[in-house]
Amino acid sequence: MPILSSIDRRILGIALPSIVSNITVPLLGMVDVAVTGHMGSSDGNVADISLPASYYVGAIAVGGMLFNIIYWMFGFLRMGTGGETAQAWGRRDLDGVVFLLVRSLLLAFVLALLLMALSPLVCEGALWYIAPETEVAALARTYFNICIWGAVPALALFAMNGWYIGIQNSRFPMIVAIVQNLLNIICSLLFVYVLGMRIEGVAFGTLLAQWVAFVLALLLCQRYYGRLWKRESFCMPSFGQLFRQALAPRSTTNRQNFSLFLRTLCLIVVHFMFIAAGAAQGSVELAVNTLLMQMFTIFSYFMDGFAYAGEALVGKAIGAANGGLCHSVVRRLFQWGGVLALLFVALYALGGEWFLSFLTDDVQVLETVSSYRHWTLLLPVCGVASFLWDGIYIGATSPRLMLLSMVISMVLFLTGYYLIIPFCGNHGLWIAFLSYLACRGIVQTLTYRKIIP
C-alpha cells in the first residue's frame, strides 16, 4: 500500500514546486542589498566615495518596497485567472482555458500600460509620502524609472502563473522563477562589477530578467500547450470581442477581480499599520517586529505552496462537478497544514533564538526580542487556516466571501490596534495581529458550506 494517496501526490506535485518558487525571492533581495551595500566603498570598479553605501541600500529598499506594493495590488491577475482556469480545466472546456489566458494577458497589458502612463505621479507621490533623504530619493527615482518598463512582463507573468496553476502545472512557474532570479543576480553583478554601473545596473538587471522570464513562459506555453489552440474545433474570437470581454466592468471575471483587489487593499492596510505601530514605539521595537515577521514570512512561503495546490485541485474538482473529490482535497490540505504548523512551532521553539541571532548581533534588540518570541509560536497555529482557505476560495471563485472575511478581520485588527496597544504596547500589537489571522480562518471556515455544499 503506497504511503501517499493519489490526492497527496497531486497536492505535493503542485505545492513543492510552488514553495521552491517562493524561496527564490528572498535570495534576490539579499543579493541586491549585498551589491548596493558595497557601492559606496572605495573598492573595485563601482567606487563612488561621494555617496555612502547606505544611500544605495536605502534607494533599493524604497524602490523595492514601492514595486512590491504596486504589484501586490495587481495580484488578482494571478488569483482570478487561476481559479477560473482550474474550473474550466476540470470540466474539460479547452476553449475556455485558452480564452482565459488570452483575456488575462490582454487585461495585464492594458493595466501595465496604464501604470506606466501614471508612473511619474506614482513615483513622486510615493517619494513625497515616504520622504527619504534627497540623495536617496534621487537614486530611488532612477531605479523606479528604469524598472517601470518591466510592468508589462511583471503583470503578464502574474496572469501566466495563475493560468499554469489552473491547469495543474506549478513546475513551469518554478522554472521561470528560478531562471528569472538567477538571471537577475548574474546581470546585476555583471552590470555593476564589470561594466561599472551603479544603481542603474541593479535596475537593468531586474528589467532584463523580467522580460526574459516572460518570453520563457510564453515559449513553454507554446511548446507544451500549443495543441490547445491548434485544434480544428477551436475558433478564436476577434480582438475586439476579447478586448471588450477583458475590460467589461460588469463581467463576472472583473467583478471577482475587483473583490480580490479590495481584499488586497485591506491586507496592505493591516501590514502597513503593523509596521507603523512598531515604528511609533521606537527603533528597537521596530527592529524586533521586523525580525519576528521574517519568521512569519518563511512560514508563509510554505503555506502559499499548499494554498496554490488547494486553488488548482479544488477548482478542477468543482469544474468537474465532483463534490466528493473536492471535500477530500480540503481534508487532506488541512491535514498537511496541521503537520506543517506543528513542525514550524517546534522549529521556532527549538531554533528561533539561533535564527534571530543569525539575523542580528545587536544586544539590545536580542534582549528585547526574547520577551516577544512566544508570539512566534502562535503564528503558525493562527495563520494556517487563513492561508489554506484563501487557496480553496480562489479555486472555488468565491472572492466576495474572501473579502468578507478580510474586512471582518481587518475591523478586529483595528479594534485591537486602538484599544489594546495603548495599554499593552507592542504585545498588544501582536495580539491584534494574531487575532486578525485567526479571524480570517474562522470566518472562512464558517462560510465554507456556501461555496461547496
Residue 266 has, within 13 A of its CA and on its CB side, a CA count of 22
Torsion sign, CA atoms 257, 270, 23, 34: positive
CA distances from 390 to 203, 333, 429 (A): 33, 12, 24
The span from the CA of 143 to the CA of 433, in Å, is: 33
CA distances from 167 to 74, 100, 134, 324, 417 (A): 21, 11, 48, 20, 41
Q: Which residue has the cell 480562489?
A: 394
DSSP of 258-282: HHHHHHHHHHHHHHHHHHHHHHHT-
The span from the CA of 25 to the CA of 414, in Å, is: 30
The span from the CA of 30 to the CA of 52, in Å, is: 19
The span from the CA of 22 to the CA of 305, in Å, is: 8
The residues, ordered by sequence, that sit 6+ positions from 85 with a Cβ below 8 Å of its Cβ are: 97, 100, 101, 162, 163, 165, 166, 167, 315
Q: Which helix (H) or strand (E) holds 343?
A: helix 323-359
Q: Which residue has the cell 480553496?
A: 392
| pLDDT tens, N- to C-terminus, the chain (453 residues) | 467 889 999 999 999 999 999 888 776 666 676 676 666 544 444 444 456 666 777 777 778 788 888 888 999 999 999 999 999 999 999 999 999 999 999 999 999 999 999 999 988 888 887 777 788 788 889 989 999 999 999 999 999 999 999 999 999 999 999 999 899 989 988 998 888 888 888 889 989 999 999 999 999 999 999 999 888 777 777 777 777 777 777 778 889 999 999 999 999 999 888 888 877 777 778 778 878 888 888 899 999 999 999 999 999 999 999 989 999 999 999 999 999 999 999 999 998 788 877 766 667 777 888 888 888 899 999 999 999 999 999 999 999 999 999 999 999 999 998 999 888 888 999 999 999 999 999 999 999 988 876
The span from the CA of 187 to the CA of 48, in Å, is: 20
